[in-house]
A and B are shown apart, each in its own frame.
Chain A
Amino acid sequence: MTHSILAAERLSLGFEGRTVVEELSLQFEQGSVTTIIGPNGCGKSTLLKGLSRLLKPTAGRVLLEGRDVLSFSQRELARRVAVLPQTPQAPSGLTVTELVTRGRHPRQKWYQQFSAGDEAAVVAALAATDITDLADMALDDLSGGQRQRAWISLALAQESDILLLDEPTTYLDLAHQVEVLELVRRLNRELGRTVVMVLHDISLAARYSDRIVALRGGRVEAQGEPVDVVTPELLWSVFGLRAQVVPEPSEGRPHVIPLGAGADDASRLGAA
């Protein structure tokens, strides 16, 4: 039984007097890929921020490698956890390479400003998201999708064991979406990285994750393997979506087919 490298224990998160996540307990096993799904405003991003200590818990705690996450220094944390936030902002004029190089910061010292290992990591990160030819371009000049891949490279360059990705595929076309998710799968299978990500596309989430957590109103509605979680009943109760779920051809993972407004009740039971 693998141990959980990251866990939330009765975690409550909120800001400005509002509680967004309430008494949530979750465990993430080392070497697993978990996707969090849920309707807008259910607390997915907030949860991710809480897990990475970008938000301090109002109650409960987050455990990283068995220790309270608050006991790590900012650098130690950054060496272990890489976060891709939702709307990152970089100073204007930064090139792609300069951005990705920032990912090495947690491992650099004032006399070790850019070692050979750093350089190799940056080159590998750029190659992994296929933006090597954009390396010298300014971030401001890139398209939304290219910029997103650059930010993903930044997270990769950190070479941390845990990757928290908040909607890493929003602006990408389908080909690039799949590319990023395949990359995540490779990192997980070949390098043993633990990944927790937030995705909107449930079918892709089901296909590329070991585990799915469905959130609603700051609480866990369901968690488990994709085939158990992604069901028409859950889609209805969590998203208010009428849909059919069919197994897709390559691995039999659940694939969501939304039904129009005029669907009758019989099709809710997911006839194959």
Chain B
Amino acid sequence: MLLDCSGTHRLRAIFLAYYPWGSAVTAVLPRVPLAEGRRRRAPARGLGAAVVLLLAALLGSVLIGGLESSLADVWHALATPDGSVADVAIRELRWPRTLNGLVVGACLGIAGCLTQAHTRNPIADPGLLGIYSGAALAIVTGSLLGGAALEAPGPQAVLAFVGAVAASALVFAVGSASRHGVTTVTLVLAGAAVTALAGGLVSVIVLSNDAALDTLRFWQLGSIAVRGGMIPGVLPFLVVGLLLAALNIGSLNALALGEETAASLGVDVRRSRTVGVAAIAVLAAVAVTLAGPIAFAGLLVPHLARRLVGLDYRWQVPCSAVLGAAVLLLADTAGRVVARPGELPVGVLLAVIGGPFFIHLARRRKLVSL
């Protein structure tokens, strides 16, 4: 499938809208020749552009907010804090939030990329494996059974993590129950079924218990703000997830050619799928724990990554991580800017802007199919 640089123009436009120094960055964006049927992509340049975008997003996220800050303020707050209001705003609020967004975005990006790879479906996202419904079910069950004690952010995070991982384990188990083991079809189906069942159970609980509904409706929004302090707790899982993803990259390019071809190239399909699903589950669970469900990111980011660096998974996965973080931080910052003095939830902004952008991509040029 062919792409040209109109999507890059679009990316540029969005970027420019937010940051005055964007023009410097656009010079670095890869110049892809217009649709002559030629697709020449320099992955390194694409990744480089993504990294630059991320840096800009990081800066923006830290600098922009209720209190305008400058780079000097940031350096001051991080390196030589002295307890002033500006420093506190940065150290206690913006920096953790930015860090949170970085981790969550990267996790969602990688998880989304791997999900689309293993389901061979460009419209798949990690929610397909039951992650979000499982987490939601755990959360509302906790609210139902444990009351207020289990509605604090800390326990909620633990519940979300456990629920997410349990759901994806169930999906994997059901998916491997068929004769062929885990194939793309069985995975998708099992995921759809578990998601639906968990969703049904969630409905039953929240419709009979107002407190649970209250918990759910706010948790559902997704936000990278509140739970900033949780990163040390999920660190081991984060590391495990990243390792698993890294291990999986090698076989993904072969798997993209079809399971039989991959097997003849020496890939252990079963093991590769297991590792892949585990990576997706862990990374997505980490993201859900830190920020609640932000579904659209996992769907959109891999498409953007493919546009920048092409189909080679050795580039696609890292680029998804970088872009995921960048996109999430941008959306979050935008949410803070657009609705001052309040803020628009990052998930909503991501979907409201990302959705039409996705449609635009689908209409103007073909999205890269798998």
Contacts and interface: CB of A to CB of B under 8 A. Distances in A.
A17 B36 CA distance: 7
Interface string A1-36: 000000000000000111000000000000000000
A16 B2 CA distance: 9
Interface in B25-66: 35-37
Nearest to B4: A17
A17 B38 CA distance: 12
Nearest to B34: A17
Task: Tell me the interface secondary structure of chain A in the complex.
Answer: loop
A16 B36 CA distance: 9
Contacts of B2: 16
Nearest to B365: A16
Interface string A143-157: 000000000000000
Main secondary structure of the interface of B (DSSP, over half): loop
A17 B4 CA distance: 12
A113 to B, nearest CB: 35
A18 B2 CA distance: 12
A32 to B, nearest CB: 34
B217 to A, nearest CB: 42
Contacts of B37: 16-18
Contacts of A18: 36-37
A6 to B, nearest CB: 29
Contacts of A16: 2, 35, 37
A67 B285 CA distance: 64
Interface in B327-369: none
B165 to A, nearest CB: 36
Contacts of A17: 35-37
A170 to B, nearest CB: 20
A18 B37 CA distance: 7
Interface string B1-23: 01000000000000000000000
Interface string A121-132: 000000000000
A17 B6 CA distance: 14
Nearest to A17: B35
A182 B101 CA distance: 69
Nearest to B2: A16
Interface in B55-92: none
A200 B25 CA distance: 51
A155 B35 CA distance: 36
A240 to B, nearest CB: 21
A200 B2 CA distance: 28
A16 B3 CA distance: 11
A18 B35 CA distance: 9
Interface string B184-204: 000000000000000000000
B3 to A, nearest CB: 11
A18 B34 CA distance: 12
A16 B37 CA distance: 8
Nearest to B37: A18
B32 to A, nearest CB: 15
Nearest to A18: B37
Contacts of B36: 17-18
A152 B326 CA distance: 54
A13 to B, nearest CB: 15
A144 B2 CA distance: 30
A17 B33 CA distance: 14
Nearest to B1: A16
B335 to A, nearest CB: 37
A106 B35 CA distance: 39
A157 to B, nearest CB: 33
A72 to B, nearest CB: 30
A17 B2 CA distance: 11
A118 B50 CA distance: 62
A54 B357 CA distance: 31
A92 to B, nearest CB: 13
A18 B39 CA distance: 14
Interface string A93-106: 00000000000000
A16 B34 CA distance: 12
A18 B36 CA distance: 7
B34 to A, nearest CB: 9
A29 B2 CA distance: 39
B7 to A, nearest CB: 15
A17 B34 CA distance: 10
A42 to B, nearest CB: 15
A213 B36 CA distance: 28
A110 to B, nearest CB: 36
A113 B37 CA distance: 45
B108 to A, nearest CB: 32
A154 B2 CA distance: 34
A85 B304 CA distance: 34
8 contacts: A16-B2, A16-B35, A16-B37, A17-B35, A17-B36, A17-B37, A18-B36, A18-B37
Given A16-B37, A18-B37, 6 more contacts: A16-B2, A16-B35, A17-B35, A17-B36, A17-B37, A18-B36
Task: Report the 8 A-B pairs with minimum CB-CB distance, sorted nearest first.
Answer: A18-B37, A17-B35, A16-B2, A16-B35, A16-B37, A17-B37, A17-B36, A18-B36
